Amino acid sequence: MPKSLGQEILFTILMVFVMVYAMICYNIALATGGMTNSVFLLAFHELPIMAPVAFVLDFFIVGPIAKKITFSKFNAEITNPVFIILSISICSIWLMCPLMSLTATILFKGGFQKEMVSIWLQTTALNYPMATFWQLLFAGPLVRTIFGLIFKN
C-alpha cells in the first residue's frame, strides 16, 4: 500500500493504466462484435482521453471516498489487510464504473442525446461484471505486485 503522496500517485497511475486499457478493450470488443488483435491497437486511441479522466476521478474523488467508507467500517489496526484491500477495491469499482461509463457514453457513444441515460445505464450494467472481475482477479493483484517490487521496503 502507498505510504506517501508520490507513491499514491504512482500507484494510481499504474492502476488507471491497467484498468482503463482493459476496459477500453472490452468495450471496443463489445461494440465490434468480438475480440480481435486490432482491438488492442484501437484501445490506444481512447487511452489518452480516458486515462486522465480516470486518474482525476480516482485520485481526487473516488479514492478518498472509497477509503473513507472502508475505514469507517474496518479498523486498520486489527483488520486483516486483505479485507481492507477488497473493501477499497469494491468501493472503487462501485463508484468508478458508472462515472467512467458516463464519460464513455458522452465521448464515444453519441453524447448528449435523448437515449443518453439508457445508453449510460446499459454501458454501466455491461461494464460492472468485467470491471469487478478485472480489478479483483487481475489488475489489483498485478499492480500491487509491481508496486511491491518497486518499493520493497
Per-residue pLDDT of the chain (153 residues; tens, 9 = 90+): 889 999 999 999 999 999 999 999 999 999 999 999 999 999 999 999 999 999 999 999 999 999 999 999 999 999 999 999 999 999 999 999 999 999 999 999 999 999 999 999 999 999 999 999 999 999 999 999 999 999 986
Domain residue ranges in the chain: 5-150
Residue 144 buriedness (CB in 10 A; 0-12 / 13-18 / 19+): middle
Closest alpha carbon to 104 in 51, 34, 33, 42: 51
CA–CA gap between residue 115 and residue 46 (Å, rounded): 22
pLDDT of 1: 81
* Eight-class DSSP state of 79: S
d(CA 122, CA 119): 5
pLDDT of residue 8: 97
Q: Let me know the angle formed at the C-alpha of 119 by 114 and 121, rounded to the nearest 5 degrees.
A: 120
